[in-house]
Amino acid sequence: MEEKKSKVSRRKFLKKGGTVAAGAAAATIAMPNVATAATTVFKVQAAWGGGIFLENAKSYVDRVNKMTGKGFRIDLLSVNSVVKTSQMQDAVHRGVLDGAHYVPAYWYSKSPAASLFGTGPCFGWSAQEMLGWIHYGGGVDLFNELMGSLGLNLVSFFNSPMPAQPLGWFKEEVKGSSQMKGLKYRTVGLAADVLTEMGMSVVQLPGGEIQPAMKSGLIDAAEFNNPTSDSDFGMQDVSKHYHLASFHQSQECFEVTFNKRKFDRLPKEVQAILEYASEAENSNFYWNNTLRYADDLIKLKEKHGVNVYRTPDSVMAEQLKAWDIVVDRISKKDPFFAKVVKSQKTYAKKVMNYLLLNQPDYGLAYKHHFG
């Protein structure tokens, strides 16, 4: 009796098992016919044709691509691949490009307030604190308000706290601001207004055109950003007088901007990766670039015979006075500009009060050890 039941049970099991196996086989055969989701690819153009800034843009893109996996990818395009740098923001707005990697000063012509998000006046803060204002002091809300008022279909993330930009390259050592009057000088953004106020004749040129312009005599002096980029451009071949420290662009950062409609259609986790990869670039940029700048400054002095000076405090004091004039003039005409400046001052006054009271004199410690 038990043996008979056992045989029946085995037959039932085999019968059911055969049915399950047949179903599994059918499913296996059917699976290849299920279409897999295509990878979403964003075409993002950088404002850089090479050098350390293109490396920084690639670093951001690499972070994103490693985290998003196979469902999303950024393809990074170098300068002028699709449109000129001056046209990049409009191209992203219209969807010709999906995104761009540049600095706010490059679309300063749209609104003077653009420069406040990267190349504005110094309120005693550095780019670190400016980024703090953007992320935690109300800056991002003001930026989005600006995008709305300009009718721009964009969402942006800010990263990479740049050290103060050098005053730049001159034909002789600058010992006072009177030497700067009348000089044809290259810069961008609101800094152009400030140095014009100081009596310079300002020319706004793309980075790759600076060295040839100085070599041909089109300009007398120039700045770009840092010792690494400047040496890549060959500025040491047209000048041997390099001035570090300045308030004309003492806090700047990168802006990574995306077409907002396309961004809003992305999965939430991909949106988060695009945002937080930007924040991660803050540390990578500062640690990596600071060392590179220091190494290349040594090369400029020791290998190329460049005379490196610290810009006199008297010149920087004149810059601050010029900033006051420019900011006051624009604020009277542009209520939104004044609103952003007020927000920045509120943040800087509070945060820098703590930092300046708390920070020891690092220069004192440096001199103690290195003379």
For residue range 295-338, what is the model confidence (pLDDT) as tens digits? 999 999 999 999 999 999 999 999 999 999 999 999 999 999 99
The mean pLDDT of the chain is: 90
- Tens of pLDDT, residue by residue over 138-162, are 999 999 999 999 999 999 999 999 9
Specify which residues 56 forms β-bridges with: none
Looking at domain 40-161+251-290, what is its CATH homologous superfamily?
Bacterial extracellular solute-binding protein, family 7 (3.40.190.170)
- Domain boundaries along the sequence of the chain: 40-161+251-290
pLDDT score recorded for residue 37 = 66
| pTM score | 0.87
Report long-range pairs for 85-94 (Cβ below 8 Å, ≥24 apart): 85/47, 85/206, 88/45, 88/47, 89/152, 89/154, 89/257, 91/45, 92/154, 92/257, 92/258, 92/259, 93/152, 93/153, 93/154, 93/259, 94/153
pLDDT band at 34; cut points 50, 70, 90: very low
- Where residue 36 falls among pLDDT bands split at 50, 70, 90? low
Confidence of residue 20 (pLDDT cuts 50, 70, 90): very low
- pLDDT surpasses 60 at 26: no
pLDDT in tens, 205-243: 888 889 999 999 999 999 999 999 999 999 999 999 999
Confidence grade of residue 188 (pLDDT, cut at 50, 70, 90) = confident
Q: What percent of the chain has pLDDT over 70?
A: 90
pLDDT in the model for residue 101: 98
